[in-house]
Amino acid sequence: MEKLMEISHVSYSYHTLEGETPALTNINFTVHKGDFLSIVGPSGCGKSTLLSLLTGLIEPEHGSILLYGQKLFEKGRGTIGYMLQHDHLFEWRTIEKNVLLGLEIQNRLTPENQEKVMDMLKRYGLYKFKDARPSQLSGGMRQRAALIRTLALEPELLLLDEPFSALDYQTRLTVGDDIGSIIKKEQKTAILVTHDLSEAVSLGNQILVLSKRPATIKSIVPINFSDTMTPLQRRNAPEFKDYFNTIWKELNSDD
């Protein structure tokens, strides 16, 4: 598999008047095309910081992040899709205008691109809501719209920062399934950050376990399920529990 992104020796600290907060120390991993990487770690350990680094919103203090062998910073914004914790759909725009926001910002509102986005809205059952306002949609549909807004830019890599944490448990399962299969269908490479271990196992093909802040990588656990399984089917598979336990132990081990 082709190497998409290479993260080597990355460290990052926040500086405020109250002092320095080291968030990440010496992070190393590689993302290959087609990977679905789940990142788990205790809350406040630096997961969102890591994603901000990977999108190029902030620059590493030490180490390097290479996208196809080239330095990422600045170039990454727009070529790497980032789905934030909340959908942040704008109430003053229709769903259609919301999903076109990225193209609008990048001056890429060509008829072909708009066509593609409309196709995605159709494929994922949002087309008939294209003139609706975000508040008229259910939580799951909003999340789908937010994903389409990100995919409209045809990103090389998709970053998801606890995208389901604002949803209730029931919706979470179905939306997780939904988003997971959309990403698979669109053949995207993705990195999912979550503090929910079962979510990580049900969606990922590799799990990166982070330590407490300042985060280091404790271990990388490969997950092997049959390729055709949906996230919900994975949850019912017998290996699921074993993976869950392995990762739980990794998270709570003390070294």
Partner 1 sequence: MTEISLAQQNFLLAQKRHKRSVRTSRLCIFLLFFGLWEVASQSGLIDSFIFSSPSKLFLCAYGMILDHTLFTNIGITLFETIVSFLLVIFFALFITIILWFNKHISETLEPYLVVLNSLPKSALAPLLIVWLGANYNTIIITGMSVAIFGSILSLYNSFQSVDTEKVKLIYTLGGNKFHALTKVVLPSSLPSLFSIMKVNIGLCLVGVIIGEFIAARAGLGYLIIYGSQVFKLDWVILSIAILCIIAIALYQAIAIAEKYCLKHH
Ligand X SMILES: Nc1ncnc2c1ncn2[C@@H]1O[C@H](COP(=O)(O)OP(=O)(O)O)[C@@H](O)[C@H]1O
Q: Which chain residues interact with Mg ion by CB under 5 A?
A: 48
Nearer to partner 1, 54 or 173 (CB): 54
Nearer to partner 1, 48 or 174 (CB): 48
CB of 116 to partner 1, least distance (A): 16
Q: Can you tell me which of 117, 153, 200, 207 binds partner 1, judged by CB under 8 A?
A: 153
Binding piece for ligand X, criterion CB under 6 A, among 15-23, 74-82, 110-118, 177-185: 15-23
Q: Can you tell me which of 46, 60, 102, 163 binds partner 1, judged by CB under 8 A?
A: 102
Binding mask 119-158 for ligand X (x = CB under 6 A): ----------------------------------------
> Distance of CA 9 to CAs 34, 61, 66, 229, 253, Å?
23, 10, 12, 35, 23
Binding piece for partner 1, criterion CB under 8 A, among 10-18, 32-40, 85-93, 114-122: 85-93
Q: Can you tell me which of 12, 36, 82, 129 binds partner 1, judged by CB under 8 A?
A: 82
- Footprint (CB under 6 A) of ligand X, residues 186-245: 213
> Distance of CA 110 to CAs 87, 117, 120, 150, 184, Å?
25, 11, 16, 17, 26
CB 119 within 8 A of CB 163: no
Binding piece for ligand X, criterion CB under 6 A, among 16-24, 109-117, 169-177, 239-247: 16-24
